[in-house]
Structure 1
Amino acid sequence: MGSQLASIHSQGEQDFLAGHIRDHQPVTSFGYFIGLNDIDNETTWKWTDGTQVDFNAWNEDEPSNVGDNDCVGMYGNITQQDSRGLWTDFRCNGSMAYICRTFKACRDRLGVEDGRISDSQITASTEHASNHGATNARLNRVAQAGTAGAWSAQANDVNPWIQAALGIPTWVTGVLIQGREDWSQWVTKFKVQYSHDPDDWKFVQDPNGTIIIFDGNTDQTTVVTNLFPTPVIASYIRILPTAWHVHISMRFELVGCEVVVNSIGCTPGWEGYNNYCYFFDHAAAVTYFEANKSCSDMGSQLVSIHSQQEQDILAGHIRDHQQVTSLGYFIGLNDIDDETTWKWTDGTQVDFNAWTEGEPNNVDDEDCVGMYGNITQQDSRGLWNDFRCNASMTYICRVFKECMRPLGMGNYEVADDKITTSS
């Protein structure tokens, strides 16, 4: 089906799936397998799709590892109805139902071929000569008078790469690659890196955390498609050839889709991502307590962050905002009540972090957390640091999108037999 067993990364996703299980009548299976397991190493849990384990919804006293239970499912047909949808570890050879997940279709060509990604946004480590430059790397490019039919690196380039700057954070789901149009040269193997700035790169990896070496071309003209196991949010994509035929020469395109900013249901001036609205006050200079009050006055709270996706979206927004004057943006995390016991102001579970290296360090009694803004080390922008609560900074608020559709009491969508009373 082109999917994988579901991985779950937020309370909202958990609630959606658990609600589906509870509402499905009748549930005959004892459980629904999801992608979490510790098959390779006892108590080291991994998702089969390779995503980070940044959330859990274990039932009480689970996982228990009874009977060498190494695979995880969500309870289905269980007597304790309030446990339906919660997680437990099962034997991997048990017979159960299952839940698959796949990313929504996101394979639009992102603009290398047609020029929406401009010449200035395509750069490379080296070029064989001025007429073999990076801008010749557009997919399906044909050699023209005085220019080659591909990008070609210098012969002595020991760390060759070519990259595209996407301009804004974008979902990238794969790479299309092609050989040199006017000569028998092509790349046969390559790696891919992604980033939000040109100095801090991560490799595309397989579900086991191994850097993927993708298969390239076997001729000059065929377009080879390589899709990533898991989509990435990136502002830059870099292709690193590792093997080639005759010489490093290639043309390429990127596929993916935009990160949808859907502000329907959000107050004007707020930005919507998924189920939440966010407010970035780029100009404020307030303390943590003043920031918290400002959010509260707007019917929201300082943002809590619960997944890498949400972190990437917010960090990308900060990096792309060119007039950041504040050292940081306050978020809702703090250890004011108890040193090193971190809590979100909205009371949600602390199930994810994005600390910058060496943080938190509690220098000068730093009890409040922010995302770095205007900092010399650009690759740290958006990462977390502990700050003094009385520092003057900007802030980010978050509120659930307006969700006030009548659910059916008035028009009988809620049937009579679903309405009960105490007496």
Structure 2
Amino acid sequence: MCSEYLLSGFSGVPNEAFTASSSFPSHLDFSPSNARLYFERFNSASGWCAEHINSASYVQAELEREAVVNSVHIQGRGDYVQWVTTFYILYSLDGVVWTYAKAPDNNDKIFTGNSDSNTVVKNAISPPIKGKFFRINARSWYNRPCLRFDLGGCINQAEHKGSQYKQASVSSVTLLGQSILLQPSRTYLHHCGFACHRSSGCVAFTFDGAICLGYNFYNSVQRIPGYKQAETGEFSYKFIEMRQNKDSASALCLSHGSLLMKIDTQNRLAIVQVAIQENNLLKQDVRFYVSGHYTTQWQYSDGDVIESNLWSPSNPDPRKGHCVMLTQSGLSSVDCNTLLFFICGN
């Protein structure tokens, strides 16, 4: 799973994953979890600040699994003139033994930080670093070591040994995707499961005592971390915080076993828009590729026509582009080469 924002994005880490050398004591909250990029909350400081002003000050985050990290984003304290101007990055597999990120000459690399409170500064980490714990160690600052940050890279997927199936109910067999006629060695339930396991692309099966059918789609996205199921249970979705053109976004969704999300009802539109507004990072730029394109009419990837009540004002307009993005006011036309975040789903 890759993201430009492993800590603050849709599949980011919980608050408990952040720890620090110290936090400034005040009637405001300066907790380590305030170090998320774009963090802001009423009656709380917009960032983490160290209590002790020295070069040993740090804030760190623990990922769910090991990750290869190739970039860091840093921001100052949003509600006051305090920020970090230079810093080290350290990484660890166990949270005990730490290693400094290196410059090309193999010396410990000093990264450039901020010169104001809110501008996000992005630094490449080359060569990339691999760890589970990542620490920002402030080396110089303006007024006090205060910051918000995030990491870009890819989290290693958990290894799956063997296959497991469980019984599930679905409202319609059409949710299972395209059927595959399987031919198990014997007409028993577990033999149907074996046949699905051996068939490329089979992720679910049905067995009525005689006919064994495999399916290539149902809940396959649930095997990939970070997908969220709507409360209605009718679909799952995930925001991908990697800026891609339309073709690359579609390909990455397919690599998850899913597709660009089909926003075909007002309910789906509302659920996704609420999720965006609940995340400080996502709501910075509410433009996400979703399923849809223009040929002679506006339609989804499956050929269904996009209903007029889903479009934002002044849309659709093929002069703007022949692809579809989600905005806060509805669906909009967009040039297919524009680099955007996107939403995968089923």
Q: TM-score range by the shorter chain?
A: 0.3 to 0.5
**TM-score, length of structure 2 as denominator length:** 0.44
Taking CA–CA contacts closer than 8 Å with sequence separation of 6 or more, which of the two structures ends up with the larger relative contact order?
A: 2
**TM-score, length of structure 1 as denominator length:** 0.36
Higher gyration radius (CA): 1
